[in-house]
Amino acid sequence: MSTYGAPPATELEVTLTADHVAFYRENGFLVVDRITTDEEIDWFQRIYEDMFDPERVDGVVRPVDRSGVRDEACARTITQVFHPELDVPEILASTYVRNAKRIASALLDISTDDLTVWTHMIRKAPGAAEVPPHQDEAFWPADFDYRSVAAWMPLHDVPVDMGAMQFLPGSHRDGVRHHRHYDHPLQSLLTVDPPVADDAFVACPLPAGGCTFHDPATVHRTAVNATGRPRLALPLTVQSVPIRRATRRETPWLDEHLAAGGREQTSYVADGRVLPLPV
């Protein structure tokens, strides 16, 4: 057991209606007002304080600068910790994860027994730039098809001007769009190309412990954090085993990342285990 102990023993069970499922399948996203308890949010806050400690520089689970390298003034304004469950496996026993898997099961029509979870943490500092429109699936190995749902939960109230999630309705039905790097290719920071008008997006401000869900092919963005407070979010992805495609998708942006010295992804994380991608 980690030093944080088990998640708080509080109960909150979230289920979806048929209307929720229909809205998600039509629009590619969904808003849930509450997915966990205040007690569990406090528990996650303690984990955040340690995970984003500047002295945590060694090991797999550590803060990674995702703000880009072109503008030095932006350095370390958007940082992420990938797969904190590798150090804190109790995260997988949380109310948040349990509800997210139940919701994803309804949205995907897949048994929870056939779904796994991986998580990451994001800290967006005051003044941090927008994250431009992109699709999650554009970052993933192009040899596979994915059945997954992404959840995004803040640890405090998040208005639009702090960087709440914004979605392009129905964009999940278009497949993976062309992307380009908006920073150095080694950073693998992507945006859709051609761009999408800002007013085409639906903004989804959330209370603490609220949550959005979206398809990996749904185009989404977040605005500049125009407040004086860092934005803390705990996204996760619920997924089944990736399925190898007969033909690889054309993803020149991933090829550019590899040519710049990036590493090809050969594994994925599922419920705290690092597994090889299927042959």
Residue 11: predicted pLDDT: 82
Amino acid at 233: A
Is 102 domain-assigned?
A: yes
Q: Rounded to a whole number, what is the distance in angstroms from the first to the last CA of the chain?
A: 33
Nearest to 247 by CA among 136, 142, 172, 176: 142
Is 104 domain-assigned?
A: yes
Distance CA 141, CA 207 (A): 34
Q: Which domain holds residue 225?
A: 18-262
Opening angle at CA 276, ends 100 and 85, nearest 5: 40
Is 3 domain-assigned?
A: no
Which residues of the chain, if any, have pLDDT below 70?
A: 1, 69-71, 73
Residue 182: predicted pLDDT: 93
Residue 69: predicted pLDDT: 67
Is residue 157 classed exposed, middle or buried when 0-12, 13-18 and 19+ CB atoms within 10 A define those classes? middle
Distance CA 182, CA 184 (A): 7
At residue 8, φ and ψ (nearest 5 deg) are -55, 140
> Per DSSP, which regions of 34-86 are E strands?
64-65, 78-82
Distance CA 105, CA 181 (A): 33
Is 63 domain-assigned?
A: yes
Distance CA 144, CA 264 (A): 13
Is 157 domain-assigned?
A: yes
**CATH code assigned at 143:** 2.60.120.620
Is 251 domain-assigned?
A: yes
Q: Residue 106 CA to chain centroid, in angstroms? A: 19
Residue 59: predicted pLDDT: 73
Is 269 domain-assigned?
A: no
Q: Are 182 and 191 in contact (CB under 8 A)?
A: yes
State how far the alpha carbon of 255 is from the alpha carbons of 64, 180, 241, 250, 258, in Å: 22, 11, 24, 9, 5
Per the structure, the count of domains in the chain is 1
Secondary structure of residue 78 in the 3-state scheme: strand
Amino acid at 150: A
Strand-pair category, 273-276 with 267-270: antiparallel
State how far the alpha carbon of 108 is from the alpha carbons of 147, 165, 257, 258, in Å: 7, 21, 31, 32
Nearest to 142 by CA among 7, 246, 239: 246
Is 181 domain-assigned?
A: yes
Residue 68: predicted pLDDT: 84
Nearest to 7 by CA among 78, 66, 89: 89
| Predicted structure pTM score | 0.95
Secondary structure of residue 184 in the 3-state scheme: coil
